[in-house]
Amino acid sequence: MDPLTLMRIDEELDSSELAALCFLCGDVLNRKYLETINDGKELFIRLEEKGLLDNSRFLSQLLETISRSDLLRLLEADSRRRERSGEPQTDASPLLSDYRVMLYRIYEDLTKENLEKMKFLLNSKLGKRQLEQCTTALDVFAEMERARLLSSSKLDELQRILVECDCHLKLMVQKYMRDSSVSQYQHIHPIRNPDLLPRSTSHVINRQRDSNSTESLLLNLAISETQLPSEPSLEPREGQSLYSDADVSPPLQNWDYYSLVHNPRGTCLVINNEQFTGEGLRDRAGTQEDEKALRDVFGRLGFKVDVRNDLTADAIRNALDELGKRNFIEADALVVCVLSHGEKECVFGTDGQKVALRELTRPFTSERAATLAGKPKLFFIQACQGSGYQRGSMPCPPKPLGGEAAGRPSLEEDAGPVQSELVPSDADFLIGMATVGDCKSFRNTSTGSIYIQALCKQLLKSAFRNDDILTTLTFVNGEVSRGEYMNFKQMPEPKYTLTKKLVLTLV
């Protein structure tokens, strides 16, 4: 980014705005660094070192949050200049943390009187000396984080205080908890009426009522209506419970579905590449949140999860070859998740070397892994697949069918050409891609990637409803495609040669 533009922005920032920017960067910059920053230039240097100013999008989010539209216009002019000069643009700008934006909105709306009330209520937990040094709500939030009373997944104390200060501000926290892609893993209410759950879920609960894990199971299963991100397809109608008889799938037919009879179901291998030594590849902040979500969800679905961190290209191949040589007689399925940088038809090892997508699946074909023959093999790839961005378009209204269209509908490629070599010719494979070919995928540096977080959320929802995996991935497509990420879109793409329906349920 142009240093002159950054200098002009620095000159326009007052001390309170600089403090706000530093607070908003709390998830992408080290707290010790932030405490030493005295002006905007120092902040921009730190962000540049992290690769967060390779384009203007992250800084735009910061300035938009603090309502400095005049400075946004400076950035837009700088972006247009860079485009005209042909300077390369990068993809994976991090998304500003929704958690920090929520706290900033509370700070904006908190009156001086309520700030003093907040400090009084925290006096026994933070100490008088620390609170005396807090002149704004952002200072109080920073102290609460330092004392581990507040985080993106720990909001109980903040809610307790806001109830006494301003109930409107408490609603901001509740909205964040509903909308957050990770809220369902952290904020779960107990079941008030087990009869409102699907029959299959109630059966699991009744069967395990006397086990030591019953209480934990109940808590984990009972996701309340207010905690689920709003989706038209899941909203209850008037006078109808969230889980009604209409939501229950019909009885499963054995001949129609893959058999899931073992516990554990099989292995879930997660290859999580965060730190890269390859030239031009930055570290992938936020990927640990994806790893945690995958470990949690597939653990609940009955898989033994094996996580491998920071593998080179050769190490990835070796790990997959080693896994393919195992005996899968006592397994029902296999899951492989790869979290890394990528290009079209490949992912990168930490050394910057490429591993073709076909190489990921080859060790598990029927010829090489005979004990996996006829069993589902699921691959989920979180990586960019090119350097392009996806933009949104307004859909055209449907036209009445007539003439040639009614008798002989034409065929079109959907969301770009599908490369047949990416899907093995052998049966029973599924590859879930974070994005279509030639395009980039997005990752939040504090809460994880858009695709993996949506996938984990939908897998849990589908476990309650007996949805098959293709229905689940359709919901993932819908959720991700509805979002807007730095003014761009993202479209996941599943590819499969499954021969039966696969329904993953909780064990």
Phi, psi of 378 (to 5 degrees): -110, 130
Residue 230 to residues 226, 447, 462, 479, Cα–Cα distance (Å): 9, 19, 16, 10
Looking at residue 25, its pLDDT comes to 92
What pLDDT, on the 0 to 100 scale, is given for residue 85? 57
The pairing of beta strand 346-348 with beta strand 354-356: antiparallel
CATH classification code of 254-390+418-496? 3.40.50.1460
Contact 383, 341 (CB under 8 A): yes
The SS3 assignment for 494 reads strand
153-169 pLDDT, tens digit each: 889 899 888 988 887 78
Which of the 8 DSSP states describes residue 69? Answer: H
Please report which helix (H) or strand (E) contains residue 140, including its range.
helix 137-146
For the purposes of burial, counting CB atoms within 10 Å of the CB of 2, is it exposed (0-12), middle (13-18) or buried (19 or more)? middle
Q: What is 3-85's CATH number, 1.10.533.10, 3.40.50.300, 1.20.1260.10, 1.10.3720.10?
A: 1.10.533.10
Give all strands of the β-sheet with 346-348 in edge-to-edge order. 342-343, 346-348, 354-356
What would the 3-class secondary structure string for 298-351 be? HHHCCEEEEEEECCCHHHHHHHHHHHHCCCCCCCCEEEEEEECCEECCEEECCC
Whether 254-390+418-496 and 98-180 are alike in CATH topology: the answer is no
What are the helix (H) ranges across 370-492? 404-407, 450-465, 469-482
| Eight-class DSSP state of 281 | -
Q: Residue 81's pLDDT is what?
A: 65
Angle between helices 15-24 and 137-146 (to 10 degrees): 30
Q: Tens of pLDDT along 257-304?
A: 999 999 999 999 999 999 999 888 899 999 999 999 999 999 999 999
Token code pair at residue 138: 């952002």
d(CA 138, CA 134): 8
In the set 22, 165, 187, 341, the catalytic residue is 341
Backbone angles phi, psi at 65, to 5 degrees: -65, -40
26 vs 29: CA distance, rounded Å: 6
Nearest to 68 by CA among 104, 113, 30, 112: 104
Local structure of residue 442 (DSSP, 8 states)? -
CA 414, CA 418: separation in Å to the nearest integer?
Answer: 8
According to DSSP H, which parts of 332-402 are helical? 357-361
- The separation between the first and the last C-alpha atoms of the chain, rounded to the nearest angstrom, is 51
Measured CA to CA, the distance from residue 310 to residue 352 in angstroms comes to: 11
Please give the pLDDT value at position 193: 40
Give domain 98-180's CATH architecture: Orthogonal Bundle (1.10)
Burial class (CB in 10 A: 0-12, 13-18, 19+), 242: middle
Q: Which two tokens stand for residue 164?
A: 């006494």
Mean predicted lDDT score pLDDT of the chain: 77
Residue 384 is a catalytic residue: yes
Percent of the chain with pLDDT over 90: 40
Q: Where are the domains of the chain?
A: 3-85, 98-180, 194-232+241-246, 254-390+418-496
Does 341 participate in catalysis according to the annotation? yes
Q: Specify the long-range contacts of residues 158-167, CB closer than 8 Å, at least 24 apart.
A: 160/121, 161/118, 161/121, 161/122, 162/106, 164/117, 164/121, 165/110, 165/114, 165/117, 165/118, 165/121, 166/109, 166/110, 166/111, 166/114
Q: Which of 25, 165, 337, 384 is catalytic?
A: 384
Structure tokens at 127: 């100490």
pLDDT digits (tens, 9 = 90+) for 44-98: 998 888 888 877 788 888 998 998 888 888 877 766 666 555 544 444 445 788 8
Q: How far apart are CA 420 and CA 280, in angstroms?
A: 29
Q: Is the pLDDT of residue 209 over 90?
A: no
- For residue 172, give the 3-state DSSP assignment: helix
β-bridge pairing 333-339 and 266-272:
parallel
3-state secondary structure of 86: coil
Q: At what angle do helices 15-24 and 98-109 cross, to 10 degrees?
A: 150
State the pLDDT at residue 31.
83
The per-residue pLDDT for 318 is: 97
| CA–CA–CA angle 371, 373, 377 (5° rounding) | 100
pTM strictly above 0.75: no
